[in-house]
Amino acid sequence: MPFEVDPAIGRAHTLPSAFYTDPALYEASKDRLFARSWQWVGDTDSVKVPGQTFPFILLEGCLDEPLLFTRDSQDQVRCLSNVCTHRGMLVCEGAGNERFLRCRYHGRRFGLDGKFQSMPEFEGCEGFPSTNDDLVSIPFDTWHQMLFVSLNPARSLAEWIQPMLDRVGWLPLGEFVHDPTRGRDYLVKANWALYVDNYLEGFHIPFIHAGLNDAIAYEDYGVELYERCSLQLAIAKGAEDVFDLPRSSPDYGRNVSAYYYWVFPNLMFNFYPWGLSINVVRPLAPDLTKVTFIPYVWDASKIGRGAGAALDRVEREDEAVVELVQKGVRSRFYDRGRYSPTRETGTHHFHRLLVDAMGP
C-alpha cells in the first residue's frame, strides 16, 4: 500500500480514508489478506460419518471459492476444491452421503479423497489422466468441533490462535454446542475494516453502549496485543455474571465478564460465561459488510446476563455508528486521524498488520 502507519502509536496517523473507499484496494485485499488467513466454515458434525459431503463457498461475497468437505471410507476428513477439473462445473451441489463424487455435466468421477477415477469418451487423450485431473486439496484445520480453512495460509492455525488457547484453554470447548437458532446475520453499510476498527477499541463504549457500560468497569478495560490477534478483557463492576476461573488462570481473582478475541483479519471470538459467540466479518463490497454471529452455548442459564447480554442491541448500536463513519471517510475534508495512545492500541495494531499484509 502506498502509505504507512508509524509503529509508535504516539506519532502514528490512522489509515487514509482511501483504504475504506478505494475499489482497487478492496479487490487487492482479497488475495493479500483473506486468501492467506484462516476462516471459520462450520462444525465437524457436517462430516461426522464416512461418506458425508459438505459443499460450501469460502467467504461468500469476497473470496467466493467453491470448496467441499468429505469424510472418506477410511474415516479421513478432507477439504477439496469443488470444481470439476474437466470444464469447471461444481462437482457436489448439496450435502449428502456418497460413495464417490460425480460431475453431472459430463460424468467425470472422483473418489471422496479427490482422486480422479473415471471419465467417459476420453480414449485417445494423451497424457490423461494426470494429477492435474484430481480435485485440488485445500489446507484445513480443526479447533475442537470447529472447522477452519485457508486457501494459502501464511502460518498454521495454531500459530494464529495460540495466545487464545493459552488464555482460555481451560474452558471445555468440546462441550460447547452450536446453536444455529441463536445465530444472526447483519448487513452493515460500511467497509469491513471500519467494522473491525470499531470492535478493537473500547473507547466508544461509554458513549455508544449504555447497557454494556453499566455491566463492565470501563476504567479496568484492558487490551493485550499478540502477533496475529488481540484480546480485550472486560471486567465486571460486580461479582455476578462472571467466569468461575480456575487457579491456573492468569486472571484468577478478577471478575472477568468477557474475553473479546480478534484474529486477523476478520474473526472475533467472544467468550462469555454462557459460552462463545464467533463473529465472522464478510466483506461484500468496499462499502458493504455481512457480519454473522455464530453461537456455541455452554451454560444456557447464563444467557441474557452480564456483558454477554443484549448482543443484538450492542450490534445495532455499533452498526449505526460505523455506517456514519463510512459516510464521513468519503468527505473531501477528512483523510487521516490520530490514535489515543491509551485506548486505541488494538486499532493501531490492526492497521499495522494491514499495511504489512497488503505490501508495497
What pTM, to 2 d.p., does this model score? 0.94
Residue (of 25, 14, 108) closest to 286 by Cα position: 25
Could you write out the three-class secondary structure of 225-238? ECCCEEEEEEEECC
The string of pLDDT tens digits covering residues 189-199 is 999 999 999 99
- pLDDT reading at 48 higher than 60: yes
Average pLDDT over residues 50-66: 97
User: pLDDT value at position 2?
Assistant: 66
CB 261 within 8 A of CB 240: no
The string of pLDDT tens digits covering residues 75-122 is 999 999 999 999 999 999 999 999 999 999 999 999 999 999 999 999
- Domains in the chain, start-ordered, CATH in brackets? 39-142 (2.102.10.10), 155-358 (3.90.380.10)
Q: Is 357 left (phi over 0), alpha (psi -120 to 50) or beta?
A: alpha
The string of pLDDT tens digits covering residues 250-296 is 999 999 999 999 999 999 999 999 999 999 999 999 999 999 999 99
Distance CA(293)–CA(180), nearest Å, equals 9
Q: What are phi and psi of 76, to 5 degrees?
A: -100, 130
